[in-house]
Each structure stands twice: as structure tokens, then as C-alpha cells.
Amino acid sequence: MNENYIISVTGTQIVDGEKETIKLKTAGDYIVKNGSRYIRYKEYDNENPSICFENTVKIDGENMITVIRGGPARSRLTMEKGRRHLCHYSTMFGDLMVGVYASTIECDLTETGGTLFACYSLDFNAGLVSENEIFIKVTEKEGN
């Protein structure tokens, strides 16, 4: 990775009425290739910094996002506005198939950066697991 961009991620999750927000600001990449946009960044485990997750967010058009997480807990979540997708989600305890439904996708990314916002729900065995929001801001590093 060239890491020529600052990637700011704010993720909010509501499970059983309990809200948790996680914020991350890190160096990463942003590229536009074959009509798709890609945001790539590394995320380290807070409790064990030797564990690294390599995240890629692929944006296709204005209504579809695929979030790919590599590392010890791999996942591939496809979000398409107004449509439910069955996706692979791996945890330290085993693999799951979860339903992902995106109610909102707002993409304001240009050739040089911008923002991405999505609201989505996760379900397992047709039961709601969580309501989620993700906001990503992509900014070119100074001097690039």
C-alpha cells in the first residue's frame, strides 16, 4: 500500500438497544479503477496490536458497497440499497452466513477523495442482530 490518504472511519452498532461507536483514523489507499472505487486500510486489534485486519471497501456505482475484511476474522459484506444479501462473516468462534440489508447509501467520492455513508442491518436466521452505520472520509495526505 502507498498509504497516500487519510482514512477516517466511524462505525456505530446498536445491539439490543445498546449503542457502541468506534472511530479509527489511519493511513490508507484510495483508487478508482474500471469504474469502481476502492478504499484500503489496515486496522489493528486494540487488545493485541500484533493482529492486523486488512480492509477493502469497494464502491460500485451509487448503490452498492462491498466491505472485505482480511485477517484472522474474515468477512465479505455486500450492501445494496433496498436489497438484502446473504454474506459470509467469520468470527474467532466460527463462520456464519448473515443477511445484510442497506437502507441508505450516500456516496460523495470523487477522483481525489470524499465521503461514504451507509445504514444497514444484519440478521441471522431471519432475526435482527444489529442496526449499523458506517461513515468513511477519505482525504489526500499533504504533499501528494
Asked whether 83 and 99 are in contact (CB, 8 A), the reply is: no
**Containing domain of residue 132, as a range?**
5-140
pLDDT of 91 higher than 80: no
pLDDT digits (tens, 9 = 90+) for 46-73: 788 888 889 999 999 889 999 999 877 7
What are the CA-CA distances from residue 80 to residues 20, 43, 47, 118, 140 (Å)? 23, 24, 32, 10, 27
Rounded Cα–Cα distance for residues 144 and 113 (Å): 13
Q: Are 5 and 28 spatial neighbours (Cβ–Cβ below 8 Å)?
A: yes
Q: What is the CATH number of the domain that holds 118?
A: 2.40.128.20
Tell if the pTM clears 0.85, that is, is over it. Answer: yes
Q: What is the CA radius of gyration of the chain?
A: 15
Total structural domains within the chain: 1
